[in-house]
Amino acid sequence: MFKTDDVLRVLKEVKEKQKKRGFTQSIDLAINLNIDTTKPENRLNEEVILPSGRGKKVKIAVIADGELALQAKKHADRVITKEELSELAKDKKEAKKLAREYEFFIAQADMMPLVGKTLGPVLGPRGKMPKPVPANVDIAPHVERLRRTVRLRTKDKPIIHVAVGTEEMEDAKVAKNVEAVMSLLERKLEKGYDDIKSVYLKTTMGPSVKIEAAS
């Protein structure tokens, strides 16, 4: 498989080929797999913590009551109470908007049955079911860890698209994130790197550049 220098070389090319945009573009990793994802048992839904972070804010919602809700207000982007859950159950449009707006959800463990009934039909198919935590947990590290987390998910096509940083991040930091993603795939895929057909890097609106091992 390719080495750090191979990733750094491609990152340099990706940045040279992009046009300047009016926003900070993500650096995206596209991975084509040699697996049959028309079979549900072969599909991936994994999470990896990026060692260098994502380079931009990731929106986190916490579903909680009482002390945990008060604590979460200091760290999460939104806190959803038991009363709000009941309201969301009646408003499918608002529930879908919530699912689009927030990338990760955390829920107080004893509220998970209610979450399953109210938001489960919306969050489940998107792979966004909340991560349960005890009511007395320190929520801060859980939120911060998710802000550095990306999801590797395939559906019926054997392709993974995942953001590994932004154009403003140092190349060495983005390369570390790429390596973290590839390392997880090597462990999770049945044949490791042999199940990976090709790997590309690109900015949000820029052309893709294939990562190949230097000869």
Comparing CA positions, the residue from 98, 89, 96, 152 lying closest to residue 118 is: 89
Distance CA 2, CA 208 (A): 17
Pair (70, 130) in one structural domain: yes
3-state secondary structure of 80: strand
**Same structural domain, 140 and 98:** yes
Residue 156 lies in a domain: yes
Residue 23 included in any domain: yes
Q: What is the CATH number for 31?
A: 3.30.190.20
Q: Which residue has the tokens 């829920």?
A: 107
Taking the C-alpha atoms of residue 197 and residue 13, their distance in angstroms, rounded to an integer, is: 21
Domains held by the chain: number = 2
The pTM for the full model equals 0.89
Q: Is residue 13 part of a domain?
A: yes
Q: Answer yes or no: do 129 and 162 share one domain.
A: no
Mean pLDDT across 184-194: 92
Give yes or no for residue 213 having a pLDDT over 80. Answer: no
Q: Using pLDDT thresholds of 50, 70 and 90, give the confidence band for residue 196.
A: very high
Q: What are phi and psi of 89, to 5 degrees?
A: -65, -25
The SS3 call for residue 81 is coil
Final residue in a domain of this structure, among 111, 146, 181:
146
Helix/strand/coil for 213? coil
Residues 180, 99: contact at Cβ < 8 Å? no
89 pLDDT above the threshold of 90: no
Same domain, 8 and 77: no
Domain boundary pick from 146, 168, 198: 146
Cβ atoms of residues 10 and 210 within 8 Å: yes
Count Cα neighbours of 186 within 13 Å in the Cβ-side half-sphere. Answer: 9
Report residue 169's pLDDT band, with 50, 70 and 90 as the boundaries.
very high
| DSSP calls for 135-189 | TTS-HHHHHHHHHTEEEEE--SSSEEEEEEEETTS-HHHHHHHHHHHHHHHHHHS
Say how far apart CA 202 and CA 35 lie, in whole Å: 23
Mark which of 102, 130, 146 sits at the end of a domain. 146
- Structural domain harbouring 103: 60-146
In a domain, 215, yes or no: no
Q: Is residue 157 part of a domain?
A: yes
Same structural domain, 47 and 90: no
Instruction: Please report which confidence band the pLDDT of residue 17 belongs to, taking 50, 70 and 90 as the band edges.
Output: confident
C-beta atoms surrounding 53 within 10 Å: 17
| 73 and 136 in a common domain | yes
Residue 75 backbone dihedrals phi, psi, to 5 degrees? -125, -35
Residues 94-118, mean pLDDT to the nearest whole number: 94
Is position 120 within any domain? Answer: yes
Asked if residue 36 and residue 113 are part of one domain, the reply reads no
Residue 105, pLDDT score: 97
Looking at the fold, whether 127 and 71 belong to one and the same domain comes out as: yes
At residue 215, the pLDDT reads 57
CA 83 – CA 111 distance, rounded (Å) = 11
Average pLDDT (65-93) is: 93
Cβ contacts of residue 36 below 8 Å, gap of 6+? 42, 158
